Amino acid sequence: MMEKLLGKTPDELKRAALEAGLPPFAGKQLARWLYVRKARGFDEMTDISKEGRESLKRMYLVGTEAPSSVSESSDGTRKYLFGVSCDRNGRTEESAIEAVMIPDEDRKTLCVSSQAGCRMGCLFCMTGRQGFHGNLSVADILNQFVSVDESDSLTNAVFMGMGEPLDNWDNISRALEVLTAPWGFAWSPKRITLSTIGVLPNLKKFLDTSRCHLAVSLHNPFPGEREAMMPVQKAWPAEEVVRLVRKYDFSGQRRVSFEYTMFSGINDDKVHADALYRLLRGLECRVNLIRFHKIPDSPYEPSPAPVMQRFMERLNNHGITCTIRASRGEDIEAACGLLAGKHKDRL
C-alpha cells in the first residue's frame, strides 16, 4: 500500500520530496498544502512543478478520504462515516469509523475517533460491544479534521469518539503534534480535550508531553462496582489514575474533568456522590454527569432526571463543580456511547 503524506512532519516531508526527485524546500510546500490549505489531491499543489506532482503521485497518497455518508440530527449535530484500513497485528482490516460535529452557539466541536472499535470492553458502550478492528493511522485521525464539511470553521476537538485514544498512543501523539505545531494546523492545545478511561502508562506520557485538556471516564467511585462495568479497572484502578492526575497542575489554563455516565440504581446513589467527592477532594476539576443512552440488550437503564439533579447538587454542596452535560445527536445515534461505525451488515 502506498504511504500517506498526511501526518508527516516537515523533516519527513522533506525526505519524501527528495525521494520523489523534488528540491528540499518542497517539504515546506507540502506541509503548507497539507495542513494550512488542506489540499485533497496533488493537482491542487500548483506551486510544485507538474513533473514533481506526477512523481509524488506515483509514490505517495495525500491521505485524505471523503466521508462515505453524513447524517444530520434535528439539533444540528452531524455524524460522518469514514471507511478506514486499519493495521491489526500486521494485517490490514477494512472497517468504518465515525466523527461527530457538534454545533453550540459560536462553537463547532469535532468528536474524533481514534480506533475502529475498541478493546476495552466497557459494558455500556456500543463501540466496545463491536470488538476491536484496529488502530487508526495518523492520516485517518487527521482526515476527520480535514474532510468534514466544517473543516475550516471547527473551534474545538474532543477525542471522545470510537476507541480509547491512549490505546493508540503513538498515532494519537503524532496527531496532537500536527494539530498544535506552528507548521501544522497551529491549534492551541486549549482547543483540544483527550478523553480516556485511564491507560496509566500512556496517560503519564500524555500529561508529560502535551498541554491539551484531559477528561477521565470514571463512572463509579467504588473499585468493585467500577470493575463490573469497566474491565480496565483491574489493570489500572481509578484511584491510581486520580493519584497520577494529582501530580500535574490543573489550576491554570489546562483543565481536567471527570465523566460520569449515570445508570439507574447502579451508580446514582448519594453514597456514590459522597465517595466521588472523597476520591476527588482537593483536586482542581469538574465532574460532567452524562445521561445514559440505552443500547440494545443492555441491563443498564438511564437515571431519571431528578436523580441526576440531586446527584449534581450533592457534589456541588461538597464544593465540587458538577454539571449535567446536554445530550446531542441522539436521533442519529451520535450521542455518547452510541458510535458504532455502522456499515454494511455490521452492528
* 125 binds ligand SF4, rule: CB under 6 A: yes
Q: Cβ of 195: how many Cβ atoms within 10 Å?
A: 22
b/e code 122-134 from CB counts within 10 Å (16+ = b): bebbbbbbbebbb
Pick the stretch among 1-9, 54-62, 120-128, 320-328 that binds ligand SF4 (CB under 6 A): 120-128
Pick the stretch among 35-43, 68-76, 82-90, 114-122 that binds ligand SF4 (CB under 6 A): 114-122
- Looking at the Cβ atoms of 53 and 167, the one nearer to ligand SF4 is 167
> Closest residue (Cβ) to ligand SF4?
128
Is residue 313 annotated as part of the catalytic site, yes or no? Answer: no
* 127 binds ligand SF4, rule: CB under 6 A: yes
- Looking at the Cβ atoms of 32 and 204, the one nearer to ligand SF4 is 204
What string marks each residue from 252 to 271 as x (binds ligand SF4 by CB under 6 A) or -? --------------------
Report, in Å, the least distance between residue 36 CB and ligand SF4.
32
Distance separating the N- and C-terminal Cα atoms of the chain:
28
- The 8-class DSSP code of residue 109 comes to E
Q: Which of 86, 118, 285, 336 is catalytic?
A: 336
Q: Cβ of 182: how many Cβ atoms within 10 Å?
A: 6
Report, in Å, the least distance between residue 330 CB and ligand SF4.
17
Report, in Å, the least distance between residue 204 CB and ligand SF4.
18
The CA distance from 63 to 139, in Å, is 6
* 122 binds ligand SF4, rule: CB under 6 A: yes
The CA distance from 196 to 179, in Å, is 19
Report, in Å, the least distance between residue 125 CB and ligand SF4.
3
Q: Which of residues 151-210 bind ligand SF4 (CB under 6 A)?
A: 163-164, 197
Is residue 336 annotated as part of the catalytic site, yes or no? Answer: yes
For the record, the C-alpha cell of 123 comes out as 459494558
Q: Check residue 131 and give left, alpha or beta (phi > 0: left; psi -120 to 50: alpha).
A: left
Pick the stretch among 15-23, 73-81, 116-124, 202-210 that binds ligand SF4 (CB under 6 A): 116-124
- Looking at the Cβ atoms of 6 and 216, the one nearer to ligand SF4 is 216
Q: Check residue 287 and give left, alpha or beta (phi > 0: left; psi -120 to 50: alpha).
A: beta
Q: Name the nearest CA neighbour of 143 among 66, 217, 197.
A: 66
Rounded to the nearest 10°, the torsion over CA 81, 175, 148, 154 is 130
List residues binding ligand SF4 (CB under 6 A).
118, 120-122, 125, 127-128, 163-164, 197
Give catalytic residues, as residue numbers.
98, 336
